[in-house]
Amino acid sequence: MSFKRLLLTAAVSAAVVSPALAVELEKPSFYGYLSAGALKVEGQDAEAEAFEIELGMQGKAVLDERLNLHYAVEVDLANAANSADDPTTGRDGEADVHVKEAKFWLPTQYGMFVVAPRGTSGQWADIYGHINHYEYNEPHEALNADGIFAQPDRTSGTFAYHTPWFLKTKLVAAAITLNDSNDQNVDGRAVRLVHKNGNLQAAVGTTILMQEQLPPFATDDYQISAAGASYKIGALTLGAVWENNRNAPFPLAPEGKADFDAYGASAYYVDDSGAGIALGFKEKNHDYDAADETVYTLKLEQRLTPGVKVWAETGQYDEAASNYAMGFNVTF
């Protein structure tokens, strides 16, 4: 039985055994996160930049007293704002509305079930979040200046299951369906173990992407394994991440693949007045030396109110262009 047929069978069975189920849809809540300011990348002009313009809606459907189906939809308009009416590209921004969240999750006494056509990558949040204290130089591969780690911060077409917490630990397994025309029902598989115990948090996981999902020059399945941990000492949080990549698609290699390791460490301190500082280091050690990279990051911040923060940040790179940014965040 295929994975999709199994899901369909489970859904039909649930409907049959619950004929009297009364669903109450609660009024959703709306939220937002706005981040904007000035950005200067070496070799480019300084410009006003929308770093993130996120607007979301979250709610739940009450199936019975103990069973709630939660949902969230969120879009990021930053790319649309930055590229609107750009005379160099002719783009009007309409194609740059980025859906960041479109997911459903069902917590039960047997664990939590997740269906996410689009959503935050759990691997990224639970593992790389230990060093994610930055506004522009975030630790992921997509649409920013980093380029150290390979794990995207978003994923599509995901089915996931979280076990119940046991000894402050849970196991998460996910199937990722990215491509509906490559003869693979499941294009990626991920598993991770998450542990939270007071001031100590840690996670370890592996993602495997099938060769059929990769670029044509790839010759093997691609495996990303990573581990991250953080520990809080008063107002100071120390974190570290290690990522190991095996058979990463690489067009310059004769066999179309290469291996590399990436590391990151960060220290983040925030005092009672809301003033904070973050210091970080990230490095990629690639089979091909030309793809190596190192970056040092520094951020200063001051929280003005619970929902407003001002900050300044820099990322100093060995190979890529270094950057300087400053701005404000508004959360509601």
Domains and CATH numbers, the chain: 102-331 (2.40.160.10)
The residue with tokens 């706005």 is 34
**What is the DSSP code string of 266-332?**
EEEEE-TTSEEEEEEEEEEEESSGGG-EEEEEEEEEEEEETTEEEEEEEEEESSSPPEEEEEEEEE-
Q: Which helix (H) or strand (E) holds 15?
A: helix 3-17
Q: Regarding predicted confidence, which is higher, 104 or 179?
A: 104
Q: Tens of pLDDT along 110-136?
A: 999 999 999 999 999 999 999 999 999
The pLDDT tens digits for 84-112 are 666 555 444 455 788 999 999 999 999 99
Residue 141 is predicted with a pLDDT of 55
Lowest mean pLDDT across 18-22, 56-60, 169-173, 304-308: 18-22
Instruction: Report the mean per-residue pLDDT for the chain.
Output: 88
**Helix or strand (DSSP H, E) at 124:** helix 122-127
For 217-273, what is each residue's pLDDT tens digit? 888 999 999 999 999 999 999 999 999 999 999 988 888 999 999 999 999 999 999
> What would the mean pLDDT of 26-46 be, rounded to a whole number?
95
Mean of pLDDT values over 275-293: 95
- Categorise residue 208: left if φ over 0, alpha if ψ from -120 to 50, beta otherwise: beta
Specify the pLDDT at position 174.
96
- Looking at the predicted structure, is the pLDDT value of residue 319 above 80? yes
